Structure 1
């Protein structure tokens, strides 16, 4: 089910103010709020795997590379390690590719049920005419994309032009059709936590099914303070509308420790419902390798060489 959105309600965030030092302090304490060891740590790491959007967004992507990525999405952790911890059927939450790679990804996924996500709208900068951005969404959907990761026009946020941002996002939501939409805010470009919060509100009101921190191409990508602000706007939107919107941190999450820290954030601020892939995704590529390495250590008592946990 997609987020139907609402009318634009400027009064929901017009007077919003954020205590940046307090947000940073809260974020800094989150990683210490759960001491996870042994089986508990392994369980949280395996849950992170099922929430990963396994991603390749490189200029030299080919159908063969995408097929290898899809194979890893279908079997993200070595079968013998999963057998040792008593887990079956584990896959990543989705794979994320460029629009021209959607069809190869769909072929590689077969009947696995794993969604294929596509970036669109002139990723990563979004500086294309709106009609071309909408055409790119429709192309990706026609190719079979189940989810669309769009980028917002940062200038609308920096200029406080919330109506223009809302109208663009509503048009993108319509172009997505039945595909679910993730709105990438590119928070590293938005200059303040207040801008991040206001852009989050507009994206959800316009019908975004997830709000996402970053493209992974900005100078600063996902951080815990920014993520804290975004998930609190999700909480506020849910309280006002009853609609559950998902969250996707992307860019900069590389270690198993990162995977746990962001899950602790979701659990502390939004609750257990937001620890499932329909409401929580992690945009990553190298992260999976470190998680598999930690699971290997949990099972065998020693760390495997990095090449034994290759992404694809």
Structure 2
């Protein structure tokens, strides 16, 4: 039987999809979630060789990938000037002549993702563009600061103008199987975000097993996460195809149960255009075409855009240019 949740809609500029209101914690459903590592790895290994697109089809997939990028800078030496250049790239992600030749003059990225202190310049430079600002929060990347400060950080970032908040969960709740604590934490983060959309970063490289990934995904969605995200980009292992497969199937199960679509964001280590196409193909196969939009799928990336731009120029000219001709920021 389908569980019907009462959803509210607070759309980002590119969407009109109902938000995930969450459900009560269903521990029976959580504990039934499992993962067959060998089968998952076999399935993931077949995808890069089986899904290949060429020429105009490849260009179209790469353009879609650009529209789903959270263009990101999360460095200790970030400055307002760097963020201004990043926002310029977000609004014009590919050289104008290439976009015009592809008949995509208005193509932009999905969002710009920054630390809290860089929200103000990002909001200022993206004003009128329709591109949302995302902020990492809750003691990113470790998530080990005092709980009341993590909640306060969310509030500060929303007040500063961020319309998306990327939170980090407490990995210890997953590793010790304290699903109630994870649910309560995620629920509090969701409420602190208000109308800002919340992406729950699972830090999957630190969760130990794929079964833990599956269960953490479900708990975060039950608690109201609008997106589930693989990684901070700071772990030793970040986004992988097996982890993505597990998380996407959890999203599919949650949608079948509640009728609510939750977004997915792989982050960390995705830097090549061919890898972006592989991830998009996996989304198409596991979740369907509706998820191939920036309101339900994002890449957390910084260097990916540069390689895609080079591939698009190759599509038009037959030659690869030097990377410096496609500066990111």
Distance in 2 (CA, whole Å) between partners of 1:113 and 1:16 is 38
- Of 41, 46, 64 in structure 1, the residue corresponding to residue 63 of structure 2 is 46
Corresponding residue for residue 270 of structure 1: 287
Q: Which runs of 5+ in 2 are unaligned?
A: 1-8, 10-18
Indicate if the aligned counterparts of 2:34 and 2:214 stay in contact, CA closer than 8 A.
Answer: no
Corresponding residue for residue 260 of structure 1: 277
SS class of match (1:13): helix
1:107-133 deviation per Cα after TM superposition (whole angstroms, max 9, x unaligned): 000110100000000000000111000
- Of 168, 171, 180 in structure 2, the residue corresponding to residue 151 of structure 1 is 168
Distance in 2 (CA, whole Å) between partners of 1:13 and 1:212 is 18
Distance in 1 (CA, whole Å) between partners of 2:257 and 2:274 is 33
Indicate if the aligned counterparts of 2:20 and 2:260 stay in contact, CA closer than 8 A.
Answer: yes
How far apart are 1:16 and its partner, in Å?
A: 2.5
How far apart are 1:88 and its partner, in Å?
A: 2.1
Could you list the structure 1 runs, at least 4 aligned residues long, displaced by more than 4 angstroms after superposition: none
Corresponding residue for residue 201 of structure 1: 218
- Of 236, 243, 266 in structure 2, the residue corresponding to residue 219 of structure 1 is 236
Corresponding residue for residue 61 of structure 1: 78
Indicate if the aligned counterparts of 2:265 and 2:299 stay in contact, CA closer than 8 A.
Answer: yes
How far apart are 1:62 and its partner, in Å?
A: 0.6
Corresponding residue for residue 178 of structure 1: 195
1:127-152 deviation per Cα after TM superposition (whole angstroms, max 9, x unaligned): 01110000000000000001000000
Corresponding residue for residue 283 of structure 1: 300
How far apart are 1:34 and its partner, in Å?
A: 2.3
Indicate if the aligned counterparts of 2:140 and 2:168 stay in contact, CA closer than 8 A.
Answer: yes
SS class of match (1:53): strand
- Of 95, 98, 107 in structure 2, the residue corresponding to residue 90 of structure 1 is 107
TM-score (normalised: structure 1) = 0.99
SS class of match (1:128): coil
Corresponding residue for residue 326 of structure 2: 309
TM-score (normalised: structure 2) = 0.94
Distance in 1 (CA, whole Å) between partners of 2:29 and 2:292 is 26
Distance in 1 (CA, whole Å) between partners of 2:59 and 2:226 is 29
Indicate if the aligned counterparts of 1:254 and 1:286 stay in contact, CA closer than 8 A.
Answer: yes
How far apart are 1:308 and its partner, in Å?
A: 0.5
Is 1:238 matched up with 2:238? no
Corresponding residue for residue 25 of structure 1: 42
Distance in 1 (CA, whole Å) between partners of 2:178 and 2:62 is 40
Distance in 2 (CA, whole Å) between partners of 1:31 and 1:95 is 28
- Of 129, 132, 143 in structure 2, the residue corresponding to residue 115 of structure 1 is 132
Indicate if the aligned counterparts of 1:33 and 1:264 stay in contact, CA closer than 8 A.
Answer: no
